[in-house]
Each structure stands twice: as C-alpha cells, then as structure tokens.
C-alpha cells in the first residue's frame, strides 16, 4: 500500500529557532513530492520537488528531495509565530492525478 | 479569481439525515478532487473527476457516499444517510496540471 510518513507529528519551538520537518514515502510510482502549509483552513502550496538533490527555496523555507532515500526535508530558518501551522507532505504517483498525503507535522512557534 | 468555492462552510446535522456539500472549481481547471480530513487519518482522497468524468472513486468509504459533477463548474458530494463517524472537514480541490492543486476552504461537517 502506498504511504507517506511525516515526522515528527508535532513540534514546539521558540521564535528564531530553525526546524527540520521530515517526509518519507513508499509509493508504486513516483512523479513528484509536494509540500503544503495548512493554517486554519485550506492547505496552500509551498514546493514541488521532482529532481533529487536540488533545493527549492522561498524566503526562510527550503526543501530538498532525496530519491535514493525516498525522503524529503522541509527547513524553516529563523521561525516566526506566523509559521505555526500543519505542514503536509504529499506524493504524486503519476498515472493518476491523485496525491497521497502524510498526516502532517503540527508546528507551533512560541514568542 | 475567487479560488475554489465550497459551501456550506459549516454543517451540523442529525444522524440519518442527508447532507450535500457543494464545490465550484476554478474556471479552466479540468480536474476536481474531494478529500476528507480527520485527526486520525489525515487527508484522504474520496473521489476525483477529470473533464467532469469520475476517474477514481476507490476512496469513497461506502455506498452512503456519492459524488456528481454535472458540468465543469459544479460538483456535489452527498452522504445519505449520515452517521456520526462521517464528521470531518471535507475539502474540494481543483487543478489543471500536476502540482497546481488549489484547495477550497473546506466544509466542517458535524453529525450528531
């Protein structure tokens, strides 16, 4: 069965800390891995990764894919309270358009 | 663009009642997805449509669940009869290309 596992399930840090969120996957066919941020409502898109070893960056957030290890990490530097959210990892299996989601990591950034 | 629009935002209903959730995808998007999110199981795909045709409904939990997409701008997810274990947040998403998923704000369903 295809699955995506995220760790840790929850994380509490102080403003200014750097955090690393993990995502590992086991899927039949891999096309891409996506990261989403979910605050109170809908998940919003952060990154899509298709090539191993190439870092995607957006401000203080960055992500990299390791196809050999079937995993990805999402780094957030100099965290702010506005980074508090659930971060979701999803895998596009190719073939069909459906995404397989992990259960997410709940990040809480305290002032 | 108004994004993916879902209604209602919240629904509280009694067990046994019929519930209909609605979704308007982004204009020009040709794929539409219904997801359910719970604390225990995370985000699960229920069904998805491509060009208004159901492609994969393997995630629909039971015959009590049905979904339709009569045209490119509207879809419904119906639960009949509803049960307390159906309580969850139901998201609709649309896309025109892989990775362009856009989620609606969700419908929080509570069945008492």
Q: Tens digit of pLDDT for each residue in B91-107?
A: 999 998 766 789 999 99
pLDDT tens-digit map of B17-43: 999 999 999 999 999 999 999 988 889
With beta carbons under 8 A apart, name residues in chain B contacting A45: 99-102
Note the pLDDT tens digit of each residue in B53-87: 999 898 998 899 999 999 999 999 999 999 999 99
Residues of chain A with confidence (pLDDT) below 50: none
Average pLDDT taken over every residue of chain B: 93
Query: Residue B27: exposed, middle, or buried by beta-carbon count in 10 A (0-12, 13-18, 19+)?
Result: exposed
Report the C-alpha gap between B61 and B46 in whole angstroms. 7
Nearest to A96 among B43, B56, B91 (CB): B56
| Whole-angstrom distance, CA of residue B75 vs CA of residue B95 | 14
A92 touches chain B (CB under 8 A): yes
The two structure tokens encoding residue B101: 């998923």
pLDDT at B99: 62
pLDDT band at B49 (very low <50, low <70, confident <90, very high): very high
The strand pair at B107-111 and B10-13 is best described as parallel
Partners of B48 on chain A (C-beta within 8 Å) are 96-98
């Amino acid at each position: 069965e295809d699955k995506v596992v995220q760790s840790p399930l929850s994380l509490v840090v102080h403003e200014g800390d750097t955090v690393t969120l993990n995502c590992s996957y086991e899927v039949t066919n891999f096309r891409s891995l996506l990261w989403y941020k979910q605050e109170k409502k809908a998940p919003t898109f952060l990154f899509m990764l298709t090539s191993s070893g190439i870092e995607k960056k957006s401000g203080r957030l960055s992500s990299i894919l390791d196809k050999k290890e079937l995993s990805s990490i999402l780094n957030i530097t100099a965290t702010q309270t506005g980074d508090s959210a659930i971060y979701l990892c999803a895998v596009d299996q190719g073939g069909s358009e459906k995404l397989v989601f992990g259960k997410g990591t709940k990040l809480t950034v305290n002032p | 663009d108004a994004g993916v629009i879902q209604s209602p935002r919240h629904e509280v209903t009694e067990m046994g009642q019929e519930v209909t959730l609605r979704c308007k995808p982004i204009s020009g998007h040709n794929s539409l997805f219904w997801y359910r999110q719970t604390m225990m199981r995370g985000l699960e795909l229920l069904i998805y449509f491509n060009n208004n045709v159901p492609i994969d409904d393997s995630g629909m939990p039971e015959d009590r669940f049905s979904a339709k997409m009569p045209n490119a701008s509207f879809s419904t997810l119906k639960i009949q009869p509803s049960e307390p274990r159906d309580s969850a947040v139901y998201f609709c998403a649309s896309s025109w290309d892989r990775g362009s998923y856009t989620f609606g704000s969700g419908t929080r369903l509570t069945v008492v």
